[in-house]
Amino acid sequence: MKALILAGGFGKRLRPLTEEKPKPLIEIKGKPIILWQIEWLKKYGIKEVILAVGYKKEKFFEYLGSGKRFGIKIAYVVEEEPLGTAGAIKNAEHLLKNEKFFFVLNGDILTNINLMKMLEIAEKTEYYGYIALVPMKSPYGIVELNDKNEIINFIEKPILEHLLINAGIYLFRPEVFDYLPEKGDIEKQGFPELAKDKKLYGIVFRNYFWKSIDTIKDKEEVEKLDINNALGLP
């Protein structure tokens, strides 16, 4: 089974770190984000990875090469200009169209989400796309009031269990390519059409570790953690 990692973005919010290398090659505790991802994928038996690259693509070629030294097979699809998330997936159609299923993930995510749970659900249903969903963590502290508007409690950045967000991890059937434009973002051009046709399914993951490395602050926060333990890696 194959996984496509979307790794072509500029990573503007992680500057100056991304001035010399693309975001997936930013190190977390001495190891690039993309290598953490590869180890997580291998845990679920995925040993063929396609990288959708653009910005500073040569850095991926230099570090990862064919993937042999990491125990994985790596192929590349190159964006000569930014294609957006939908366009990047469409650009890899020739490598994925004959797969029964394939995973797609954003190149800035660290997680221990169980990919086999997604596959098990997909095997029993007939949707074209499956999106991993996680409860939203509030970016702010929450203030609680009583009926007199007296402040009774402060809760620092709680998990908002009733609000679910897109975790940037997808499982697709090849039929999804019929919904993807040559250029554009899948959140705006792809998912709305799939949802309208009732071809999209959400899989909720609660009590799992999930973190998107979007900013310097995100990087600093995750580096305080025991990453191997959080990701369920040896």
Point out the residues that are catalytic: 157
Host H or E run for residue 38: helix 33-43
Q: Which residue has the tokens 């009774």?
A: 152
CA distance linking residue 226 with residue 220, whole number of Å: 13
> Residue 214 CB: number of other CB atoms within 10 A?
16
**Per-residue tokens: 86:** 């939908």
Q: Which SS3 state, helix, strand or coil, does residue 196 take?
A: helix
Q: Are 10 and 56 in contact (CB under 8 A)?
A: no
Q: Are 211 and 33 in contact (CB under 8 A)?
A: no
How far is residue 171 from each of residues 7, 32, 121, 224, measured CA to CA in Å?
Answer: 17, 24, 10, 30
Q: Are 186 and 85 in contact (CB under 8 A)?
A: yes
